[in-house]
A and B are shown apart, each in its own frame.
Chain A
């Protein structure tokens, strides 16, 4: 069975500082990997995804994540955060045999950006 572990439940950081949100997964098959963001009182929005090809994927608002197969990780990074990045971030995995039908989510990491 697949599982996702987000190693930090909360990450406080000052504005313009770099941040890394950690995600590890376990699976016996090849996977697709996702990061979703949830702003307060809203649904989830896709931030970025790894399907195949380049192991480094980027979002339009400056986040990036790197798929590391040997370490079964998909950590999310941003070199300089803004107040508006304050949100909860969820890492998710789906096995390639099932396509996108079943996502397994991590417990989430709450990013709090302080001025």
Chain B
């Protein structure tokens, strides 16, 4: 039982490049989330998926897209990376009426 896994662990991009962050969970959770963590700002919700087939914007969705590929997988895409997207990205999942479980994070640097 791996919980929530994220790939890659680290990534360096140049401005304008695109990439997809992958997230998978093996806990049969319905809901999945993407957050970004910046110093002094805590975690901010980018997008979430309450259930398979649905996605909704969170607090800071601009510059990102998501895909809920199936119940297990929820990916985050940066179409044209900008230095302001340098951050640590966390994926999380939960059952209805239960706490969120977090992955280990992806540290992204955009030059």
Contacts and interface: CB of A to CB of B under 8 A. Distances in A.
Q: A and B from one assembly?
A: yes
Contacts, number: 53
A4 B40 CA distance: 13
Interface size class of B (residues with CB under 8 A): 20 to 34
A90 B42 contact: yes
Interface residues of A, number: 22
B103 interface: yes
A34 B98 CA distance: 11
Given A90-B43, A107-B40, A102 B48 contact: yes
A44 B99 contact: no
Given A102-B45, A105-B42, A106-B42, A43 B102 contact: yes
A49 B99 contact: yes
A9 B58 contact: no
Interface in B21-54: 31, 33, 40-45, 48, 50
Interface of B: 4, 31, 33, 40-45, 48, 50, 58-59, 90, 92, 94, 96-105
